[in-house]
Structure 1
Amino acid sequence: MSETNRITAQAARAATCVTSIMVRLPVKPADACRAAAVAASANNFHGFHLTEREPLLGLDATFKPNRFNQSLNHYHRLVVEPARLAAEEGASVDRSALLDELAEAVGEFLLPVVPAVERIVFEEISEHL
Structure 2
Amino acid sequence: MCGKEQERDELRAMFTGWLESLAYRVRKNYLRDNSRNPLSVSLDEIAEDQFAVHDVQRNGEPDSFDFEEEQLSAAFANLPAMKKQILTMLFVLEMEPEKIASELGCTVQNVYNQRSLALKRLRKALEGGEEHD
Q: When the two structures are superposed, what TM-score results if normalisation uses the length of structure 1?
A: 0.30
Question: Which structure would you say has the larger RCO, counting Cα contacts within 8 Å and 6 or more residues apart?
Answer: 1
